Amino acid sequence: MRAGLCKLGCLHGICTDCLRESITGQIRQGISPVKCHDENCDCAIPIGLIRVLLPVPLYIFYVKFSYMQMKKRNNEEVRSCPLCLQAGVVTSKSYRSLCCSACATCFCEECEKMPHWPLTCNEFDDWSEKFEPQYEMEKCRLDGKLKEYLVTRRCHFGELIEAPDNIGVQKCSTCLLTYDWATGRSIVDCRCYVGKDEQGMPVWKRPEAEFVSQRKPLTMVNRQFAPICASARRKRFEEVKVTNMIAKCTHQSQPSGQILNARRVVDLRNTSLYLVEYGTAWLFEHRMSPPDNWKQIRNQVTKLEQKLDIVVARLSSKTDSELSVQQCSQAISSLEALVAAIISLLQLSA
């Protein structure tokens, strides 16, 4: 090989710039493996040479693309993770969802959004459009911060701020003052210059956020469904409660520890809360044309969170008697059976 000239295994010679351009063009056309520039030659270009000639990002893309093409030629289903972009063979899938073995991201096999079974992708889009804007307000209701209205006030600097009516205090990001939201008065005892009086003397007043208006929050998912979904979602992602549950399982007495497995209990908890959220979302999406088992599914989903609370209460019990251990085990088994029953019902209708 002379400087600026490559001789391939087929003995065809080409300058490095032209070869780089040829390889890049073939990759853009979706060709794998890339071959000699001569249209009558099927000689594959060595991967080591490709690595030297191409920029690193393009080389990495080509390696992943070649891997996927090779697996497809072997009639294996290959997908790329939407988060880390790692390509992999689909070994198993359940409930229309996949899990990346590299970064553990779970996603829908069709739309590549978060898993949303039993909702179809179209139903999930419709649900998200209605529920997501409402979710923050539902959390405020759960915390008691929102009773009825969203109140808008104008801060001391003229900035408009909107906050729930029962939030207590609200800080303005513009003037950096914190206001009592019921009265609008600054909670800090300070005085600001507001002008002069009739005698030309300066007037100083405690800052206030002037009331402007109030409105009821937009509600696209009615009260029969929205609070249930909001509560289940928030609980599912509360790391402190998950950690506490693991600790309760780990520190059980020896007889109890033989029955309870921390990972099993945490997975059961998260699955239950997932089904409460998306099972309720499914009920909402199908409320206008319900299938025959709609009411049965609704009743079972309602029981689910109640049974989960029983399991948590049993785990929190400080009694290590044999009876207490049996009751905890029975509560977990009952919850597992209910989860399986709900999944079966939804599979018949989803």
Neighbours of 186 (CB within 10 A): 23
**Do residues 72 and 157 both lie within one domain?**
no
**Do residues 210 and 235 both lie within one domain?**
no
Q: According to the model, what pLDDT value does residue 94 have?
A: 65
Q: According to the model, what pLDDT value does residue 88 have?
A: 61
**Whether the Cβ atoms of residue 283 and residue 298 lie closer than 8 Å to each other:** yes
Within a domain: 12: yes
**Do residues 232 and 337 both lie within one domain?**
yes
Within a domain: 140: no
Within a domain: 62: yes
Within a domain: 141: no
Predicted confidence (pLDDT) per residue in 81-93, tens digit = 777 766 665 655 6
**Whether the Cβ atoms of residue 343 and residue 273 lie closer than 8 Å to each other:** no
Q: What CATH number did the domain enclosing 102 receive? A: 3.30.40
Within a domain: 139: no
**Do residues 171 and 203 both lie within one domain?**
yes
Q: According to the model, what pLDDT value does residue 199 have?
A: 80
Boundary residue ending a domain (215, 240, 257): 215
**Do residues 200 and 271 both lie within one domain?**
no
CA distance 79 to 120: 20
**Do residues 272 and 321 both lie within one domain?**
yes
Within a domain: 124: no
**Do residues 240 and 338 both lie within one domain?**
yes
**Do residues 231 and 316 both lie within one domain?**
yes
Q: According to the model, what pLDDT value does residue 303 have?
A: 93
**Do residues 251 and 306 both lie within one domain?**
yes
Range of the domain at 309: 226-349
**Do residues 345 and 230 both lie within one domain?**
yes
Low-confidence stretches of the chain (pLDDT beneath 50): 1-3, 254-259
The pair of structure tokens assigned to 246 is 């693991």
Residues 6+ apart with CB under 8 A from 315: 245, 248, 249, 260, 265, 328
**Do residues 258 and 202 both lie within one domain?**
no
Boundary residue ending a domain (108, 140, 163): 108
Question: Nearest 5°: CA angle at 278, between 91 and 167?
Answer: 130
Number of domains in the chain: 3
The pair of structure tokens assigned to 302 is 């309602």
Within a domain: 126: no
**Whether the Cβ atoms of residue 36 and residue 10 lie closer than 8 Å to each other:** yes
**Secondary structure in 3-state letters for the chain:** CCCCEEECCCCCEEEHHHHHHHHHHHHHCCCCCCECCCCCCCCECCHHHHHHHCCHHHHHHHHHHHHHHHHHHCCCCEEECCCCCCEEECCCCECCEEECCCCCCEEECCCCCCCCCCCCHHHHHHHHHHHHHHHHHHHHHHCCCCCCCEEEEECCCCCEEEEECCCCEEECCCCCCEEECCCCEECCCCCEEEEECCCCCEEEECCECEEEEEECCCCCCCCCCHHHHHHHHHHHCCHHHHHHHHHHHHCCCHHHHHHCCHHHHHHHHHHHHHHHHHHHHHHHHCCCCCCCCHHHHHHHHHHHHHHHHHHHHHHHCCCCCHHHHHHHHHHHHHHHHHHHHHHHHHHHHC
Within a domain: 127: no
**Do residues 183 and 104 both lie within one domain?**
no
